[in-house]
A and B are shown apart, each in its own frame.
Chain A
Amino acid sequence: MKFIHAADIHLDSPLVGLQFYEGAPVEEIRGATRRALENLVELAAAEKVDFVLLAGDLYDGDWKDYNTGLFLASQMSRLREEGIRAFVISGNHDAASQITKHLRMPDNVKTLSVRNPESVHIEDLGLAIHGQGYAARAVTDDLAGGYPLATPHHFNIGLLHTSLDGREGHESYAPTSVGSLLSKGYDYWALGHVHAREIVREEPWVVFPGNLQGRHIRETGPKGCMLVEEQDGRIVRVEHRELDVMRWAVAVVDAGRAARGDDVIDAAIKVLKKAVKENNEMPLAVRVEIMGATKAHRELLANPERWKSELRAVATDISGGTMWLEKIRFATREAAGTTLGAKSEALVELMSAVDGLSTNADLVSAAVEALGDLHEKLPHELKSGDEAIRLDDPETVKRAAEGVRQVLMERILAGGVEL
């Protein structure tokens, strides 16, 4: 018996943080979550698995487009053509989704009940699947606690959408403990909800397969599903299979040894080439972080746009147009001994005015006011969430001080005398 365990498909959930630019691989990564699901179906067919488990979160909760549901249904139909069954529970996102309520799945798909734990027995496989979906968005009860004990002489699988005993970055839903799971006597716990892949324990197995396709920079690395093989009532293989069509990565460029901006580009090329190689030349969304105390610091900050576009061009070039630079962060520092030691009172005054962005309450409030118009105009998506832009927050002004200093020094020094 062979089956696939996947979860957290989040179909049609958009990739976040990818700014469009000339040369960005827009086509390569369009509809990535759909392509990943297609990969799943292809894998199932190629491996001739007996069934597929989907442990919740097929959709994004606030996504309303029924087309998404139809696409899922069409993929399930393809499984049906291959004679492959699918067992599905709804996760927190699905419970919130409008699509779930109306979608008619083909008859090879079995969606387990959301009201009570439901068990399905497939006698020809000697298989018992137990599970319960989410009836509401937030399920804070220990659902697993209500699951029945293992059916004797069967291979027992528990299907559950849970944060287990708590996982960073994930809401605590259907909390339970590994001990509680083990007490049921199942052979395999197919979990969902946590996007990072994790084999919590083996024999009996408790597994988070992670999500199918990374969707932002906090979901780096290969993504996919678990391919599980059972022989004579024992699991002989639990293998991760990559299904993602594009991957997120963070490339840290050490500019410490660079004397000039061009040296930094050279260093970045090495790091990016390595990333391309490591990910088998698949499309990548890369965050470049340029770090270190470097002599090129000022040159970089003098004209970040120039270096950004140069890095983008380089990325496009070395990846054959499949790399998208999600963001380029210049986190360099002045190399020791290159600080501007000017003691000109005018410049000292300027520097202290910059410092005023942190210390001078009047200036800070003037700054917040100056940013007020933009704050009003910003879309609310940018004003909420983990990386919210808070232009009405004095902290934002303080954090900007270093950048402001660079802008001013650069622009004012540009007017000096070239001896």
Chain B
Amino acid sequence: MKILELDLRAFGPFTDVRLDLAEGHEGMHILYGPNEAGKSSALRALKCLLYGIPKNSADNFIHENKALRIGGRLRNADGSEFAFLRRKGNKDTILSPDGKPIDERDLDRFLHGVTEESFGFLFGIDHEALVRGGRNILAGKGETGQSLFAAGAGGANLRAVLEAIEADAEALFKNKGQLPAINKAVSRHQELRKRISDLSQSSREWAEKEKELRKAMAERDSVKKSLERLTAEVNRLKRLIEIVPKSGLLRETRAKVEAMGEVITLPEDFAARRHQAEKQLNAAIEVKRRAELDLERLHADIAKIVLPQKLLDQADAIEAIRERLGQYRKAAVDLGTLKGRLQQNKADIRVRLQELAPGLDAESVKGMRPRAAVKTRIQKLASRYEALQAEQARAAKALRDAEQNLNRLKDDLKSLEAPKDSASLKKSLAKLAKSGDLAAALQEAQKALQNEERQARGLLQRLPLCSRSFEEVGRVPVPSSETVSRFEDNFSRGKALVDNLDSRLGDARSELQGVEQKIDAIRLAGAVPTEEDLEKVRDRRQKGWGLVKRAWLEGENIEEESRAYDPERDLAAAYEASVEQADDTADRLRREAARVAEYAALVVQAEKAKEEIARLERERHDAQQATARTTEEWKAAWAPAGIEPLTPREMRAWLEQYGKILQRLEKMGEQRALIEKIQGKIGEHREELSRHLEALGEKPATEEETFGQLVERCEMTQEWLERLARRHADLETKISAMADEIKAHTQAQADAEKRLADWRNEWSEAVKILGMGEGTTPDEALVTLSKLDELFKKIDESDDLERRIFGINRDAELFNADVKALIGHVAPDWERLPPDQAAAQLNAELTRARDAATRHTQIAREIEQKGRGLREAEKEIALATEKLKSLCRQAGCDTPDELEAREKRSTDYQELKQRIQVLETDIVERGGGATLQQILHDVEEVDVDALTAQMKELERELSTLRERQSELDERVGSLRSELGRIDGSSAAAEAAEEAQGVLASIRDHVDDYVKLRLASLVLRQAIENYRAKNQGPLLERAGTLFARLTLGSFSGLKTDYGENDEPVLQGVRPDGNVVDVAGMSDGTLDQLYLSLRLATLEKYLETNEPMPFIVDDILIRFDDDRARATLEVLADLSEKTQVLFFTHHARLVELSSKVRSKCGLLFHQFNSATFKDSVVTSEEL
């Protein structure tokens, strides 16, 4: 099938855009539209045309859904065509071109069973599919089967499909797995089965357990009763055994108490209080003894210390002297240095004075020190001076420059021609421009005229029968075509009539001939008597009889007549003969009646035929006459044209030819009128322009000058005048601006000079203060200022040094005097020592005296402290002694030494009393409710050993029973809990329900798993089968294409065994080297995949009806050369099937000009509004 036309009547951005795809063998069409031009919409429209507009189509943004229409015209290889419109909808979406619904099956005949899906799949390729195809080959390591199959199946990513199928299958089940759904469910099911079995309670077990429980419970009850009884008995015995020793002990203790007699009971804390008093007393005695010893030692120490009181009295003065001593020693050192510096300074001052003011000394100069304000002012003025000067110079130069410029501009203006007004000329030219390029139009019209004339002359030369000249030819009075038609009809009617008559004549003649032959046949069989013959012979007989009668009865001479009657015989014989003849004839007539009748009929028939022939011949003659007349009229019709006409049909052809000449002539007339009109316009313009030129003082138009030249001259003139005017205006503007500038500069210069003058006034005043002349330059003034500064600095320094030397000397004298006074007072022996040494010694003595004083004070304080301690110890001793005395009184004894014994007696007594009470309570408690007296009485007669033996026996019995009881408890508990679990619960049933749920889910998963598992198996099988069948031819063809697409970088493809012993694809280099797919670039992989796709497609086309191959911009990653090669391959493919190449890369359009293929490329450029259909073949490029 081939798409002849795609009519984007109302779809997406398109309105009535038609795309003619009929050209070419099958045609390789490049549909070029830049971005947004509607390329994708066109591509979609193509698919919608064939397979319907999807429900949710977004191509309704201009046209409403119900208005969407795509038209198309398709052609099958057998030449049948189908034109239809597609509308959007659920049914009746195919309409005839005039809008009536058509059966959709009519379209199916052109789709050849290729569905929407498989169309995209087998006959579509886009960039993405190409890249994906290439990548998949790489990902599959070039596995041959997969690569071929994938190319054959429209680029499915087989590896991914296989992996996905297998992954999905493995997610359902894996032999050794635990996680996949089925594995999980199976193990869950096993768990549940176990759970059901665990939860299910066997009924026999239940009955047995119930019985057992009842037995255990009965036994437990009896054990419990025995236990209670035994326990009571044991307890009683135990009590008795316990009471016996206690009652003995009670008796003994009571006896001891009685033996003690009267006892003073002391309070519990008595012993503690006594101990505390004794301890206090002893401690105080010890303190007192120590204090006395210390005091004695301290008094001895204090007596040994001697204090130099005089020295100590002068301590502050000595301290002050010591402080001044360091200062005194340093000043003595500094003095020498200061004196040296003073001398140097004074020398410097002299030198400077000599320079600045010879004859003056330092003192007299001091009054001349300049004030700070003056200094600052001079410095400021000096710094401004240069700026002012520079400003003044700049202003002067600017003024000069401006004046020069002005003069130059004025000269320029003077030398310029005066401007003229060219407005009207410009207007005329504009008007002319509006009427277009008249000269060119004229030329074109003339050329067209010549062309028409040439063609008309050519036609005339080829026109037969006409000898008219070219000029006359238009006026030849030829008959109209209607007339010719009429004649043609007449002629043909005439001819038809004659022919008809001829044919009928032929028929009639042959009929006559037949009849005559029959007549002859009858005649040959013997003469046939006819009624006429009979009549004739009877007439003769009658005639004879008449003669006989006349001769016989009337006697007439009948000689003559009888001779006439029968010249040979006499009348009698003749009459007799005639009678015989008549009889004979009558007899024969009677005898041969049938023959006679037939004969007669034939004769009649022959007569009729003859008559018919005669009539026809007459008619034929008439018809021929009529034709001859028509021929005359026909000639007459052409006579005015002076033409001897041929047949009307020939003349009609002639007329057509002649008509063409007339058309040409008419066009010539039109062209002439056009030329005249253009020439008229040119004349008008010419005159107008010439007028303007004259007005502007230019040469008017001349005869020799063509209109074009004139116009050009006018344009140049106009342009020159405009330029002149512009130049004038420009210069004037500049002159006026320059004048303004000069004014400004003049003002600036004046300002600068004034500022300079002001400065000079200020300056002379300032330097005068310094005693410098008016002419002193700022530099000089500044130098003098700095020298003066230095001088005064030196003078100030000298003054300072002198002051310091004087101070040092004064301080030293004071220090000496103070030292001397102090020594005289404290240690007159040291008077001869130098003051500083004396001061140092005084200080050392003072330190020693102070140490002695400190020690004295310390010991005195200690003596006082110890005395206080001694007094406190004595007070403590008295207190403790009093306490002990009071305790003795309480215990009823005389001395503290007896206290301890009294205490012990009291404690023993109390202890015994308490023990008795405890025993009594104990006994009563164990006595089982009897009084103490009773119990003590009862116990006296008991045999303890016998009781003990009895009790041990009972206890053994008890422990056995207890063991049994706990066993039974446990047993009952466990049986109860076991039976408790069997309570009619539905847990097992619920587990069974869940197990059924799990089985159901396994069932479900198994279905899916089987499908997936088998799908993977089948797919692998299909791939292998496909490879085995197609590997040879497909690879060879794909190899050739690959070589072409890679421009010979590869020479072909082969298949070899790869790592896993599977056949893999390899590229072969021209030098025989092989390259694995892993070694190919992305682009080369794309080309490899494309080769496989195209080879598969070609194979398909060998046995199937072609379908258009839709290519959507696949060359994005191809370099120019490979892209060109690809276009060539596709162009070659278009010999077998239509190729529609959509692109929005202008580069491809350029590239395709270099494409060499026997099938041309056809271009269609479009944007959303129009489809510019520029069909170009590569030959033309």
A residues adjacent to B (C-beta < 8 A): 12, 14-20, 30-31, 33-34, 63-71, 73-74, 98-99, 101-103, 259, 326-327, 337-347, 349-350, 352-354, 356-357, 363, 366-367, 370-371, 373-374, 377-379, 381-382, 387, 389, 391, 396-397, 400-401, 403-404, 406-408, 411-419
Alpha-carbon distance A353/B1024, docked complex (angstroms): 10
Complex CA gap A391/B122 in Å reads 36
In the complex, the answer to whether B153 meets A14 with C-beta atoms within 8 Å is no
Q: Apart from A345-B1029, A419-B43, A419-B1112, what are 15 other A-B pairs with CB-CB below 8 Å?
A: A74-B984, A337-B108, A341-B113, A342-B114, A346-B152, A367-B1017, A377-B183, A377-B186, A403-B1007, A407-B165, A412-B158, A412-B1019, A416-B118, A417-B125, A419-B124
Nearest CB of A to B11, in Å:
15
- Interface residue ranges of B102-137 to A (CB < 8 Å): 104, 108, 111-115, 117-122, 124-126, 128-129, 132
* Nearest B residue to A387, CB-CB: B1003
How extensive is the interface on chain B, given as a class? Answer: 35 or more
Contact B121 A342 (CB under 8 A): yes
Given A20-B994, A71-B984: A416 touches B1014 (CB 8 Å cut-off): no
Question: What is the bound-complex CA distance between A415 and B193, given in angstroms?
Answer: 45
Does B729 lie at the interface of the complex (its beta carbon under 8 Å from any beta carbon of A)? Answer: no
Q: How far is the CA of A20 from the CA of B1021 in the complex (A)?
A: 36
- Residue B222 at the chain A interface, CB threshold 8 Å: no
Q: How distant is the Cα of A342 from the Cα of B1100 in the complex, in angstroms? A: 11
- Answer whether A65 and B1011 are a contact pair too, CB < 8 Å, given A408-B1018, A416-B154, A416-B156: no
Q: Does B200 contact A65, Cβ atoms closer than 8 Å?
A: yes
Point out the residue from B120, B1013, B1019 that lies within 8 Å of A353, measured CB to CB: B1019
B1018 touches A404 (CB 8 A): yes
A346 to chain B: closest residue by CB: B152
- Known A-B contacts A102-B207, A417-B121; the reply to A340 vs B115 at CB < 8 A is yes
Q: Which residues of A contact B1029 (CB under 8 A)?
A: 345, 349
A354 to B1016, CA, bound (A): 11
Complex CA–CA separation, A289 to B1014 (angstroms): 24
B984:A343 contact, CB within 8 angstroms: no
Q: Output the least CB separation between B88 and chain A (Å).
A: 14
Kindly specify which of B544-552, B639-647, B985-993, B1068-1076 makes contact with the partner chain: B985-993
Q: Which of B47, B152, B204, B1007 contacts A419 (CB 8 A)?
A: B47
Complex: A354 Cα to B982 Cα, angstroms: 56
**Are B1015 and A404 touching (Cβ within 8 A)?**
yes
In the bound complex, do residue B1000 and residue A98 qualify as a contact, i.e. CB atoms below 8 Å apart?
Answer: no
**What residues on A are CB-neighbors of B1006 within 8 Å?**
374, 378, 382, 389, 391
B-chain residues with CB within 8 Å of residue A17 when the two chains form the complex: 996, 1000, 1003
Please state if B1011 and A341 are interface contacts (CB–CB under 8 Å): no
Q: How far is the CA of A337 from the CA of B107 in the complex (A)?
A: 12
Inter-subunit contact B999/A408 (CB<8 Å): no
| Contact in complex: A14, B202 (CB < 8 Å) | no
A103 touches B43 (CB 8 A): no
Q: What's the nearest-Cβ distance from chain B to residue A32, in Å? A: 9
- What residues of B have a CB within 8 angstroms of the CB of A389 in the complex? 1003, 1006
**Inter-subunit contact B990/A379 (CB<8 Å):** no
CA of A230 to CA of B186, assembled, Å: 54
CB distance from B873 to the nearest CB of A (A): 99
**Bound complex: CA A101 to CA B394 (Å):** 138
B1031 interfacial contact with A, CB 8 Å: no
B189 interface hit (Cβ, 8 Å): yes
Q: Which residue of A is nearest B205, CB measured?
A: A66
B455 at the interface (CB under 8 A from A): no
Instruction: Assess the A378–B115 pair: CB atoms within 8 A.
Output: no
Does B750 interact with chain A (Cβ within 8 Å)?
no
Q: Which of A65, A343, A414 has the most C-beta atoms of chain B within 10 angstroms of its own C-beta?
A: A65
State whether B1096 touches A342 (Cβ < 8 A).
no
- Which B residues are CB-close (under 8 A) to A408? 1015, 1018-1019
* Known contacts A343-B1100, A349-B1025, A419 near B1110 by CB under 8 Å: yes
Instruction: State whether B990 touches A31 (Cβ < 8 A).
Output: yes
A residues near B129, Cβ cutoff 8 Å = 416-417
Closest to B165 in A: A411
Q: Is the CB–CB distance between B157 and A415 below 8 Å? A: yes
- Looking at the assembled complex, report how far the CB atom of B423 sits from the nearest CB atom of chain A, in whole angstroms: 64
Contact of B1100 among A16, A337, A345 (CB under 8 A): A345
A357 CB, nearest partner CB in chain B, Å: 6
- Please give the distance in Å from A342's CB to the nearest CB on chain B: 4
> With an 8 A cutoff between CB atoms, is B1012 at the interface?
yes
Complex Cα gap A344–B910 (Å): 126
Are B1014 and A370 in touch, CB under 8 angstroms?
yes
A403 contacts across to B, CB distance below 8 A: 1007, 1010-1011
Residue numbers of B with Cβ under 8 A of A are 43-44, 46-47, 90, 104, 108, 111-115, 117-122, 124-126, 128-129, 132, 148-149, 151-158, 160-161, 164-165, 173, 175, 182-183, 186, 189-190, 193, 196, 199-207, 982-990, 992-1004, 1006-1007, 1009-1015, 1017-1019, 1021-1022, 1025-1026, 1029-1030, 1096, 1099-1100, 1104, 1110, 1112
Please judge, given known A-B contacts A69-B203, A367-B1014, whether A378 and B118 are in contact too, CB under 8 Å.
no
- Cβ–Cβ contact B186 & A378, under 8 A: yes
Q: Which residue of A lies closest to B1016 (CB)?
A: A370
Complex: chain A residue closest to B985, CB-CB:
A67
Question: Is the beta-carbon distance between A65 and B989 smaller than 8 angstroms?
Answer: yes
Complex Cα–Cα for A29 and B182 (A): 25
**Chain A residues with CB under 8 A of B1017:** 363, 366-367, 370
Question: Secondary structure of the A side of the interface?
Answer: helix
Q: Contacts A344-B152, A349-B1029 known; A363 to B997 CB distance under 8 Å?
A: no
B975 to chain A, nearest CB (A): 15
Report if A65-B1002 is in contact (Cβ < 8 Å); known contacts: A20-B994, A342-B115, A418-B120: no
> CB within 8 A of B1014: which of A34, A63, A344, A357?
A357
19 contacts between A and B (CB under 8 A): A14-B989, A14-B992, A20-B998, A20-B1001, A98-B204, A102-B204, A343-B112, A344-B1100, A346-B1022, A357-B1018, A363-B1021, A370-B1017, A374-B182, A377-B182, A408-B1018, A411-B1015, A417-B128, A419-B44, A419-B1112
Select which of B126, B153, B1011 is within 8 A of A344 by beta carbon: B153
Supposing A19-B1004, A418-B120 touch, asked if A67 and B152 sit within 8 A by C-beta, the answer is: no
Q: Which residue of A lies closest to B113 (CB)?
A: A341
Interface centre among B995, B998, B1004, B1099 (most CB of A within 10 A): B1004
Give chain B nearest CB distance to A309 CB in angstroms: 12
B997 engages A18 (CB within 8 Å): yes
Q: Which residues of A contact B122 (CB under 8 A)?
A: 342, 344
Question: A31: which of B121, B986, B1011 is its contact (CB, 8 Å)?
Answer: B986
Q: Which residue of A lies closest to B990 (CB)?
A: A30
Contacts of B183 in A (CB 8 A): 377
Chain A neighbourhood of B989, CB < 8 A: 12, 14, 31, 33-34, 65, 67-68
Q: How far is the CB of B65 from chain A (nearest CB, A)?
A: 16
> Shortest CB–CB separation between residue A352 and chain B, in angstroms?
8
Q: Which residues of chain A have C-beta atoms less than 8 A from B108's C-beta?
A: 337
Complex CA gap A326/B202 in Å reads 32
Neighbouring A residues of B1019 by C-beta, 8 Å: 350, 353, 408, 412
Q: How far is the CA of A341 from the CA of B113 in the complex (A)?
A: 4
A66, B206: Cβ atoms closer than 8 Å: yes
The residues of A that contact B43 with a CB separation of less than 8 Å are 419
Residues of B with C-beta under 8 A to A14: 989, 992-993, 995-996
Complexed CA–CA distance, A20 and B994 (Å): 8
Of B124, B128, B183, B1018, chain A has the most CB atoms within 10 Å of the CB of: B1018
Say yes or no: B1010 contacts A391, CB within 8 Å.
Answer: yes
B470–chain A nearest beta-carbon distance, Å: 61
Of A15, A259, A339, A349, which contacts B115 at CB under 8 A? A339
A409–B421 alpha-carbon span in the complex (Å): 86
CB atoms of A407 and B1026 under 8 A apart:
no
Chain A residues in 8 Å Cβ range of B1014? 357, 367, 370-371, 397, 400-401, 404
Question: Residues of B contacting A338 with CB < 8 Å?
Answer: 115
Among A64, A346, A389: residue with most chain B CB under 10 A: A346
